[in-house]
Amino acid sequence: MEKVMRFSSPEAKEKEENAFYRSLTPAERVKIVEQLRQAWIPEDEQGLERVYRIVTVPKR
């Protein structure tokens, strides 16, 4: 069962959310970011794209 929270204003909601995230350890915060990243980026596109450019520099 999920906990339901009700707020009197958007400011109260933001204040409560900030307090929640401040209470987390750095490892817990990283875990949340990783979960969001995995949900946002399709698995076949994860990783860094290899990009390169060959530049010819004239001699001085």
pLDDT at 4 exceeding the cut of 80: no
Q: How many domains does the chain have?
A: 1
What is the average pLDDT across 30-54?
A: 81
Q: Are 54 and 43 in contact (CB under 8 A)?
A: no
User: Would the pLDDT of 25 be above 90?
Assistant: yes
Note down the domain range covering 14: 1-60
Calculate the alpha carbon distances from 24 to 17, 20, 49 in Å.
11, 7, 32
Q: What is the pTM of this model?
A: 0.53
- Please report the pLDDT score of residue 46 as a whole number: 64
Cα–Cα distance, 6 to 53 (Å, whole number):
53
Contacts from 47-50 at CB under 8 Å and sequence distance 24+?
none
- Alpha carbons 7 and 10: distance in angstroms, whole number: 7
